[in-house]
Structure 1
């Protein structure tokens, strides 16, 4: 018996795995799916069975030395031109992982100087890390305990956790590592490192069945193993080509809380942990457990808000359960990610549009993140039988444009404080029997939006990513809205308008913020259309107010249109300004919450009584120093993230909280960022049960009083300002003092 076999997390994965060859295919689609999974496993084994010799590596190094013999690359075009010349010189073509491995071997041996431009260009799939963190998905073990329910659309493939298919990338990787969380972490983190990513700030997303239904001892060990894997992972060795245990400094695994404590100072820090469960499993006891594990965000499968649709697919809970779960999680400071499924059996486009309107414009389900999963018919589901019998035909199957049009309408209305993490499930086409099979659905939606002069204002589409602007174009915004028995403040630092249509990355393709002539023309056209629509609405309102005969109403409308025409300038300034404000590039965000009765005793965390809650702080991308010309940017520029954006957002949140009479703030801090908050004066407080560590800060009464009276904390003379926990806005160092705050 090996050391790893002693751990429950390793045993359960192996115990409930079922080799694909032993699975009985219940349909032709299932057989096709299983053959695809087998082929993927064989390719993975073949790839890992071909190690490079030392002679191979020396050849790779010579290639890289020749590639870097010239000056720093100024563009990807220049890089491609030079690498083509080197390929002709050596008469060989190397893959990116081979080039990256050779580069880091040379750099580690100090045989070459660091090349920032090379590192940026060779970072494969930069989207994996240019949101400020790298995301690693870990999948829990299969078994009947993975979910107690039997939703009719949910796949139940033997040997896989409920609701997941073996061909999905993260699940395939879990199978290859026998569902051992440590091996999964090493595998994925090592791959990211070899692709050029810096694996120092990691967000873990745990998928697989219903987390709350797994055995408690398995949950404890699983989360312990996540922190252990991060604490022992060696990015440098991974970049040099080692994998698995070879890329880790292995040692005995310690208890969960000890591994968490070690992670506070580890090289690879877990800054966020997301767990997935059902809304009817969210209870005060479950919330306490989630916090003990280090969880900061919870994904809950709402799926739909129409109770009749939920009952038809045997979901097992109603809308009210989702409302209660969202309220309890937000009241305790968690971030909430809703799963929504259009095109379910018994639903249609009208019901799905009503669902999205419910979660967008109601207070009860105002979430922070969404995952949209259009229903797809897959093997091992009840609805596969329904589809064969003609009882259920997805409307996407009848006309694919229906789904694209629906989601384009939804994305055009999404609030700036919501992040759309997904608009499609990560299921390969080979495993889809019916329903949406458009794997680039997000891009198709962007094309529809662009053709209409519209855009998505969600967080993901506005993140700065790779091409920032100068600091003198940034500003601070505060948006206020109601949600789940509380008031939320979405505080953000934003830049210029990011254009219509696609996501944040598309802005960078032409080299920064500059728009093409076509984009400018489309933008002006869209603004004119918006202005005309506003005028027509005003005219209709005037006609309605006038009353009387039809002729009198027509005259009133005509007069309103004439007045609008007389006041109109060459450009619809007001409409343009509104578009800029809601569609601006996003550099950082903070979520501040005031519960409606903050001083009431909390049934979950008594420590939160009287606290304002900071539920999220996230900084994206990088900045260029103020006054720097766009033309002087180059790929050689480093992208430092730590220049004061986070401190500015924290200071603003503290100011707003103090102005509303709060004297305490609590932050739901990921384990790996606790020290960041300690530097800002926050301290870690632990409940009597020693299971709910919370980062809190006391706002001194003198500071709070002065802030509440005139928003000028500098007038406070309380002695706490010279103490280690002093936190007045003046003590928050920031490179962004030029920001112009905009309040709603």
Structure 2
């Protein structure tokens, strides 16, 4: 009988040889290579790509090598590693007509989505979910040292306070690698952890983004809020039992931005609107200064058994878009999406066998791209111009000699937004950006946070794209743009504009706890949930 130590040693040797051969010739037949090496070293179970990758130095993990190993650098190519965890939450208002809730799942989920399956497998334990995801990503070659924590499931911030705090503490304990006595201690400890949380996102509803709710979100480390907006129509909200109004969306968007949070809208084309009405809705999103979110997730309406909408659909009272119709609507709507917006997703992760009506193809973004190509137009959104993604897809490379700082100024939610970015305009590539907000005047629309007065400017986001580079390390491969000085230049220019053009005396940054040390280097100090600096 072969000992475990002997088997492990043979796998190590096989992985080392495979790594050398892949580096020498990334176009080789990977499966044939694995088979030959298993025979040569007499290994019973096939080599894993992750074992081979572990033997390749980080600086040599090029696009070609990652593709040869059939691994996906796209998961961390935007500069941070997303870690999604799911709470076992419902919604306080009841249930919308289109909303699924699978057995053992949080409200609005079927229980068959990847994040939901991980949650169920880990009995909705936040720490176990986070560890499971981080360990998996590390095994397939991704760095997990700069992470964005995404809290999903129902309306999390409507749950009992103790549940929220214990759930978030468990997650931060997982990133820290040890247990803290309280959520506050766990958050503060993450400043110096190996696995740092540089952003926290909460999914919620517009009527759960009042001032007191936002204060609680900030206390839990929140930096971004995803609001289920769906449509901009009060009659439809009433029809689907949504439980809030368009005015709630307007008011809470302003309050969120004036608290320095990033704002993402979930939109649902096909929800009692035809193609023309849906395109008009997207046009209004960005022509009307009351809205203008920073990010979008576009989820064409699906009919799921067990919902009230399903009963309407069965009776012929509701019609859904086909995959092609949804793509055509989104392609036309994309012409109205500005350069300061990032379209994060274009469809939900619901398995096709659970969909009774609606689009059934899983490649909506590709269908939209093809439709736009037919029209001769290109999407201008942030995601479509990210330098790392473009390089990964062989769509173009940054010419750093032609990189220039660009500026877009626009009014939004009662304030002024300055979107500064480093771009290679010739190749239509984006390297990084900063969102600077000048809140509305004191009075009715005054920011409610005590840290923010009439002489305060806000940085709601500072992001440099490209494959994640660990905190304190230098870029070491062709996909990495971080830590080359672009972020500091954006920060300095935002400070200059705030001081010289708007006469502001203080800058507030909504920094994820794991990114605080970056700002400390430039004179910022902790102030409540923010870091701040006098200009």
Q: TM-score of the superposition, structure 1-length normalised? A: 0.65
Tell me the distance in 1 between the aligned counterparts of 2:125 and 2:65.
31
Q: Cα offset for 1:402?
A: 2.5
Q: 1:100 and 2:50 equivalent?
A: yes
Matches within 5 A, 1:149-160: 149-160=94-105
- Closer/same/farther in 2, CA of residues 113 and 124 from structure 1, 3 Å limit: closer
Secondary structure at the counterpart of residue 110 of structure 2: coil
Q: Cα offset for 1:603?
A: 5.8
Tell me the distance in 2 between the aligned counterparts of 1:97 and 1:656.
55
Tell me the distance in 2 between the aligned counterparts of 1:487 and 1:681.
25
Secondary structure at the counterpart of residue 430 of structure 2: strand
Q: Cα offset for 1:211?
A: 1.7
- Closer/same/farther in 2, CA of residues 427 and 113 from structure 1, 3 Å limit: closer
Tell me the distance in 2 between the aligned counterparts of 1:663 and 1:431.
55
Match of 1:211 in 2: 156
Answer yes or no: is the 8 Å Cα contact 1:611–1:665 preserved in 2.
Answer: yes
Secondary structure at the counterpart of residue 593 of structure 1: strand
Tell me the distance in 1 between the aligned counterparts of 2:446 and 2:218.
15
Structure 2 unaligned spans of 5+: 392-396, 469-475
Q: 1:377 and 2:377 equivalent?
A: no
Match of 2:471 in 1: none
Match of 1:698 in 2: 534
Match of 1:639 in 2: 480
Tell me the distance in 2 between the aligned counterparts of 1:279 and 1:638.
37
Q: 2:77 aligns with which of 130, 133, 139?
A: 130
Match of 1:254 in 2: 181
Match of 1:606 in 2: 450
Match of 1:368 in 2: 294
Matches within 5 A, 1:58-69: 58-69=9-20
- Closer/same/farther in 2, CA of residues 229 and 70 from structure 1, 3 Å limit: same
Secondary structure at the counterpart of residue 608 of structure 1: coil
Match of 2:221 in 1: 294
Q: Cα offset for 1:636?
A: 6.4
Tell me the distance in 2 between the aligned counterparts of 1:101 and 1:82.
13
- Closer/same/farther in 2, CA of residues 262 and 97 from structure 1, 3 Å limit: farther
Q: 1:173 aligns with which of 104, 118, 124?
A: 118
Q: Which has the greater radius of gyration?
A: 1
Match of 1:88 in 2: 36
Match of 1:388 in 2: 314
Q: 2:376 aligns with which of 453, 457, 462?
A: 453
Residues 639-683 of structure 1 show CA distances to partners (whole Å, capped at 9, x for unaligned) of 362010100000110111111211111001101001111101111
Q: 1:57 and 2:8 equivalent?
A: yes
Secondary structure at the counterpart of residue 377 of structure 1: coil
Tell me the distance in 2 between the aligned counterparts of 1:651 and 1:76.
41
Match of 2:106 in 1: 161
Matches within 5 A, 1:569-584: 584=428
Secondary structure at the counterpart of residue 264 of structure 1: helix
Q: 1:419 aligns with which of 335, 339, 342?
A: 342
Tell me the distance in 2 between the aligned counterparts of 1:695 and 1:227.
20
Match of 1:618 in 2: 463
Tell me the distance in 2 between the aligned counterparts of 1:95 and 1:373.
41
Matches within 5 A, 1:362-511: 362-394=288-320, 396-397=321-322, 400-465=323-388, 467=391, 468-498=397-427
- Closer/same/farther in 2, CA of residues 102 and 322 from structure 1, 3 Å limit: same
Answer yes or no: is the 8 Å Cα contact 1:123–1:197 preserved in 2.
Answer: no
- RMSD of aligned alpha carbons: 2.6
- Closer/same/farther in 2, CA of residues 55 and 252 from structure 1, 3 Å limit: same
Q: Cα offset for 1:697?
A: 0.9
Answer yes or no: is the 8 Å Cα contact 1:683–1:695 preserved in 2.
Answer: yes
